[in-house]
Amino acid sequence: METYKLFNWFKEYGWRHLFALLFVIFAIYPILFVATNSVADFANLTNSKLIPDGFTLKHYKLLSSNPLVPYYSWLFNTYKVAIIAAFFNVFLGTLAAFAFSRLQFRGRRASLLTLVIVQMFPSFLAFVAIYLLFFQISDVAPIMGLGTHFGLILVYLGGSIGFNSWLIKGFMDTISPSLDEAAKVDGATEYQIFSKIIAPLARPILVVIFVITFIGIYSDYILAAIFLKDKNLWTVAVGINTVFVDDFNADWGVIAASSVIAATPIAVLFVFFQKQITGGLTAGSVKG
Amino acid sequence: MTVSKIFRYTFLAIINSLIVYAIPLTLTFESWFLLSLIIVIGILINLVYFSDRFLPMKWILPGMIFMISFVVFPALYNSYVSFTNWSTGHILTKTQAINILEDRVYTPENQKGIEFEIFVLQDSSLDFYYVANLDSNNILFGKAVSDDEIFTTSYANHEPSLFVNNEFVTPDGYYLLSGKEQIANSTTLQDLSLIIDESTRVQLYKISVFGASTGRLSSTSQLYTYDDLNDVMINNADNLSCPVVKDNFVCDGKEIEPGWRVFVGGENYRKLFSNQRIRGPLGVVTKWTFQFAFLSVLLCFVVGLFLSMILNKDGLKFKRIYRAIFILPYAIPAFVSVLVWKGLLNPDYGLINSWFGPLYEIFDIEPIKWLTTKESARSAVLLVNTWLGFPYMFLITTGALQSIPKELIEAAKVDGASGLQSFWRITFPLLMVSISPLLIGSFAYNFNNFTLIFLLTGGGPPIIGSDVAVGWTDILISFTYKLAISGGRGNLFGLASSVTIIIFFIVLVISAISFRYTKRLERIYGNI
């Protein structure tokens, strides 16, 4: 009787747990492995112990003391570029979305369609032309040319603003038009309707779009790699993938520590905003 | 004048003065494309903000400027570049190339003049300096430079303090090279000269092991003169006339660098499709790009769907914990995960091989050299991409499964359908309605998944015997990147752009299919 019960449990639930556990190991092992190695005394690639022999923060300290690996400058650069670009992205995207959602004008449908078509192509696809264009900009206006954060931010702005306007417009469409019609009757200007009614009501989606854009730019490799030549101006993605190539085994502790620092904030943001991010993804796939 | 008007006109004044400032600069540098971009943007801004006819555009234009400048324009520019020979050696315009050539100088035989004592010094950064002792009124000291640096170097100075009682005294911070050391460095030294004025320079003439070496004064003349009537470059040293052959001046059958960029029509495309040593690799790369994108979507989808199916069971314990863990790989930025996986896959120390160790011994096979052979690198790329991508598929299939009404499955059960039947006949088709656009989106994403390929394998291992840098795991976009930026064979911008155009068209087709497919599915299943 007991065996029969057990068999039945296995048939109903047990095998599910078995496979789930298998994939739990697959999913989590690399993450645990890198986390423990970042604090392990003798960190190297063969160190498969998930509980390290000795706990140490030396790898983290090494990251701040090695002038050849200016890791914290990279981190600062990444946050700087991603925050500024994401902010202006959302700001300008909101302005455009307001016009698309609330104002009637000729060419509205055509412009919206253009947005959708342009966004089908990843912005880095024409990277050769972007590179050559900024090569020319370097002559004319060196402060925003190749090798500068300013120029990189401009490119990031161009890359995702269309898609973001589209998403924000979708949300604004769900805000009842009776609100701004009432305001219009009371004599509110276009600008007042935007700043007093629509923008505040759209704030939840704006936060989400800011986070999605921030994560996207934070994780970008190709454009940053093309743009930034000076080691001190690199972003984390370029930095750690350029510096740690020679002796993986010896550097493993430092690689692990830098990975943990680079990944943790994004992972936390992601878990926190998971529902909204996947919602946005379903609307048009940003990552994945 | 309202405040907003003052604000508006100030803003326009600033923008317009920037444009007026930039236009002459673009003309100087012959940056025609940038010039046209600036003009288009300038017209748009003035049109929209000066007149009241395009009111709603005021909201849209600020964001749109960036999209036009850095997405739409580059796309057009890219198509233009694909019809040029733009590459290392052909970066400049013709005028720029002529200017550079006309700056070159040479020393005519009859101009090699008086001889005198010369001392060779080196500073702490190992740059060479010459001290030329012409006579007591002309003791010249300065950095010795090669021809390329002539225009950025200042002329030599008269430094009488270097000689005390007619004896040379090495100045502080410099090292005096002995004759033997000069011989050891002679290949470098023979190209260096001390610049006295525009056309006069000092060169090391004879190295002497005992005592000071001999220097020689020489005057230089312009090496090339451009004859714009006949469009030929005259080489003054050999009195040769060098005509234009396509994109270079050619003297006596030898191309002079640098050349310039020209419109070459479809040559890049022809090269892609007819040059055996490029066409072969391009075929390999294209085929693998499709295989990679398709298999990635398939593997991630199968794993993701399987996991969401086994968790889609009432009363299953730990469901929430499983879900949270399955999503984790997705929360890590790809550039970090790929770095970690590169460590795990390391053939010598990596954990994957130490796990497989016993297997290798049992079957008595060589340990797999991950990432170094075609098959292992391709499998590794797919393995890592499955890890990166299955959480996304898990998330969307979980959502889709939950939205399928339970009554449908129940009804099928009542009608006697088996579990498998109800899955293939009901669950799966319904799932595909909401999922298939996302699958196509995911295919398009992986089609250009540069970060994974470039950071994990760098496209390698290399395909031997091709004319361009290319590897077995390269996808089209990483192939393009190597052609243009990092292939180690110069920057082949023109050729790279033509590959980009091919990608453009493929993405266009994928998007069109996605669009039609979504429409069709909506028609078929729209009523449920």
Q: What ipTM, to 2 d.p.? A: 0.89
Sequence ranges of the domains in chain B: 3-81, 105-222, 276-525
Q: Express as a percent the part of chain B with pLDDT over 90.
A: 24
Whether pLDDT at A120 is above 60? yes
Q: Evaluate whether A248 touches B343 at the Cβ level (below 8 Å).
A: yes
pLDDT score at A280: 53
Mean pLDDT score of chain A:
85
Long-range pairs for A267-271 at CB < 8 Å and ≥24 separation?
A267/B328, A267/B331, A267/B332, A269/A211, A269/A214, A269/A215, A270/A215, A270/B330, A270/B331, A271/B324, A271/B327, A271/B331
Position B329 confidence tier, pLDDT thresholds 50, 70, 90? very high
Q: Express as a percent the part of chain B with pLDDT over 70.
A: 96
A222 closest CB neighbour out of B26, B55, B451:
B451
Bridge partners for B206 per DSSP: B214
Whether pLDDT at B525 is above 70? no
pLDDT score at B524: 58
Residue B13: how many CA atoms within 13 Å on its side-chain side? Answer: 6
Residue A122 CB coordination number (10 Å):
20
Which residues 6+ apart lie within 8 Å of A32 measured at CB? A50
pLDDT score at A119: 80
Mean pLDDT to the nearest integer, B458-475 = 86
Convert the pLDDT of each residue in B96-106 to its tens digit. 888 888 888 77
Convert the pLDDT of each residue in B146-203 to its tens digit. 877 776 777 888 888 888 877 888 888 888 888 888 888 888 888 888 888 777 888 8
Q: Evaluate whether A262 touches B332 at the Cβ level (below 8 Å).
A: no
Residue B528 CB coordination number (10 Å):
11
Whether pLDDT at A282 is above 50? no
Give the Cα separation of B369 and B350 in Å (integer): 11
CA–CA distances in Å: residue A28 to residues A1, A25, A32, A75, B456: 37, 5, 6, 25, 19
Transcribe A44-60 into DSSP letters.
-TT---SS-SSB--HHH
A3-28 burial string, b = 16+ CB within 10 Å, else e? eeeeeeeeeeeeebbeebeebbebbe
Selected residues 236-255 of chain A with any CB under 8 Å from a CB in chain B: 236-237, 240-241, 244, 248-249, 252, 255
Sequence ranges of the domains in chain A: 2-56, 70-247+263-284
Report the gap between the CA of A24 and the closest CA in chain B (Å). Answer: 6
Convert the pLDDT of each residue in A212-242 to its tens digit. 899 999 999 999 999 998 889 999 999 988 8
Interface membership of A56 toward B (CB under 8 Å): no
Q: Give me the CATH topology for the region A70-247+263-284.
A: MetI-like fold (1.10.3720)
Give the Cα separation of A148 and A220 in Å (integer): 16
Long-range pairs for A243-246 at CB < 8 Å and ≥24 separation?
A243/A68, A243/A69, A244/B339
Whether pLDDT at A257 is above 80? yes
Whether pLDDT at B291 is above 90? yes
> Of residues A50 and B135, which shows the higher confidence score?
B135
Position B81 confidence tier, pLDDT thresholds 50, 70, 90? very high
pLDDT score at A266: 92
Q: Evaluate whether A210 touches A87 at the Cβ level (below 8 Å).
A: yes
Selected residues 121-150 of chain A with any CB under 8 Å from a CB in chain B: 121-133, 136-137, 139-141
Whether pLDDT at A285 is above 70? no
Position A283 confidence tier, pLDDT thresholds 50, 70, 90? very low
On the 0-12 / 13-18 / 19+ scale of CB atoms within 10 A, B179 is: middle
Residue ranges of alpha helices (H) inside A174-230 are 177-185, 190-192, 199-201, 203-218, 222-227
- Enumerate the residues of chain A whose CB falls inside 8 A of the CB of residue B339: 240-241, 244, 255, 259
Pairing of strands B221-222, B224-227: unpaired
What CATH architecture is B276-525?
Orthogonal Bundle (1.10)
pLDDT score at B139: 85
CA–CA distances in Å: residue B357 to residues A173, B341, B349, B353, B364: 59, 18, 11, 6, 10
Instruction: Please answer yes or no on whether B340 and A127 come within 8 Å at the CB atom.
Output: no
Chain A residue with CA closest to B55: the answer is A105
Angle at B512 between CA B506 and CA B515, to 5 degrees: 145
Backbone phi and psi for residue B192, each to the nearest 5 degrees, phi listed first: -100, 150
Residue B474 CB coordination number (10 Å):
27
Mean pLDDT score of chain B:
85
Closest CA to B307 of B292, B327, B293: B327
A152-189 burial string, b = 16+ CB within 10 Å, else e? bbbbbbbbbbbbbbbbbbbbbeeeeeeebeebeeeebe
> Of residues A47 and B86, which shows the higher confidence score?
B86
Give the Cα separation of B448 and B369 in Å (integer): 26
Convert the pLDDT of each residue in B226-240 to its tens digit. 888 888 888 887 888
pLDDT score at A246: 67
Angle between helices B57-67 and A71-102 (to 10 degrees): 140
Interface mutation vs chain A, best among B18, B67, B311, most A CBs within 10 Å: B67
Interface mutation vs chain B, best among A17, A106, A132, A264, most B CBs within 10 Å: A132
Report the gap between the CA of B95 and the closest CA in chain A (Å). Answer: 16
Backbone phi and psi for residue A44, each to the nearest 5 degrees, phi listed first: -155, 175
Q: Evaluate whether B255 touches B107 at the Cβ level (below 8 Å).
A: no
Give the Cα separation of A9 and A3 in Å (integer): 10
Give the Cα separation of A199 and A191 in Å (integer): 10
A244-282 burial string, b = 16+ CB within 10 Å, else e? beeebeebbbbbbbbbbbbbeebbebbeebeebbbebbb
SS3 track for B477-520: HHHHHHHHHHCCCCCCHHHHHHHHHHHHHHHHHHHHHHHHHHHH
> Of residues A149 and B346, which shows the higher confidence score?
A149
Angle at B502 between CA B499 and CA B505, to 5 degrees: 155
pLDDT score at B94: 86
pLDDT score at A286: 37
CA–CA distances in Å: residue B319 to residues A21, A52, A156, A224: 11, 29, 39, 40
Interface membership of A211 toward B (CB under 8 Å): no
Closest CA to B397 of B425, B434, B426, B446: B434
Closest CA to A24 of B321, B48, B16: B321
Angle at B48 between CA B29 and CA B64, to 5 degrees: 65
- Name the pTM for this structure: 0.84
Cα-Cα-Cα-Cα torsion A264, A266, A272, A273, nearest 10 degrees, comes to -170
B112-136 burial string, b = 16+ CB within 10 Å, else e? eeeebbbbbbbeeeeebbbbbbbee
Interface mutation vs chain A, best among B5, B29, B336, most A CBs within 10 Å: B336
A129 closest CB neighbour out of B81, B315, B485:
B81
Least confident stretch, A55-69, A150-164, B312-326, B451-465:
A55-69
Q: Evaluate whether A273 touches A211 at the Cβ level (below 8 Å).
A: yes
Q: Evaluate whether A85 touches A159 at the Cβ level (below 8 Å).
A: no
Tokens of A112: 């919206």
